[in-house]
Structure 1
Amino acid sequence: MQFHIENMTCGGCVRGVTKAIRSVDPSAEVAADIPTHKVDVTSARPAEAFLPALAGAGFEAVPV
């Protein structure tokens, strides 16, 4: 699945996004692309499961 996170602009943001995603699924694979603000997540959990954790970390994510 993929998310667009407009306010992900640096490596610190990527760490925060990754931490939020892994708080929901510790085994999730996360690949972020800062210039496009896209995050690819490989997980058995549905995309909607990650949205509250990302919002709580300050990242408004939009499933793509």
Structure 2
Amino acid sequence: MQFHIANMECGGCARGVTRAIQSVDPKAIVETDPPARRVTVQSEQPQTAFLPTLEAAGFPATPA
């Protein structure tokens, strides 16, 4: 699954996004692309499970 995160602009943001995602699913595989503001996640959790956590962490996301 992919997310677009408009305010993920740097490596620090990418680490914050990764921590937020892995707080929902510690086994999730997360690939971030800050220049494209895109995150790819491999997880057995549904995409909707991550949206509230990302928003609470300051990284509102939209499914891409």
Normalization by structure 2: what TM-score? 0.98
- State the AA in 2 paired with 1:21: I
Off by >6 Å, runs of 4+ in structure 1: none
Helix, strand or coil at the partner of 1:7: coil
Matched positions, count: 64
- 2:56 aligns with 56
- Measure, in 2, the Cα distance between the counterparts of 1:23 and 1:17: 10
C-alpha RMSD over aligned residues: 0.4
1:6 to partner: Cα distance: 0.5
- 1:3 aligns with 3
Percent identical pairs in the alignment equals 61
1:27 pairs with 2:24? no
Q: Which runs of no fewer than 5 residues in structure 2 stay unpaired?
A: none
Normalization by structure 1: what TM-score? 0.98
- State the AA in 1 paired with 2:63: P
Helix, strand or coil at the partner of 2:30: strand
Helix, strand or coil at the partner of 1:30: strand
- 1:15 aligns with 15
